[in-house]
Amino acid sequence: TVSRELEEELGHVLSDDERRALCPVCVFPSAKHKKGGWNAYEYVYLLPLNHTNFPRGERNKGEVSALKWLPVDELVKMLREEIPGAVPRQNLYVEKLVEAV
């Protein structure tokens, strides 16, 4: 679940208020199986947080190489223009993110 992934990857345990504030954005296939069909899906959520209030847990460096806080418009620009430093994402991901914010 999103709670376990957030704790495992960023070392952050969601409070009850944060859990209620989670906003599902979309679910879409992310990898195609060799024999056809999808074998992995990406679940995308927004969690409204102020970066100054985000606890600095120990991130799992095997899964998260960096964490950077950005204004949403700057993030969207990076994703759309494939600026170095941004993890490449499908267009669907970017468009659903824009719709959600």
List for the chain the helix, strand, coil content (%; round to 5). Answer: 35, 20, 45
Q: For residues 59 and 67, is the Cβ–Cβ distance under 8 A?
A: yes
Average pLDDT over residues 62-81: 83
pLDDT at residue 34 in the model: 64
- Does this model's pTM top 0.85? My answer is no
pLDDT at residue 31 in the model: 60
> 7 or 82: which carries more pLDDT confidence?
7
Average pLDDT over residues 62-84: 82
pLDDT digits (tens, 9 = 90+) for 5-58: 888 888 888 889 888 888 888 887 776 656 666 667 778 888 887 777 676 667
Q: Calculate Rg over the CA atoms of the chain.
A: 15
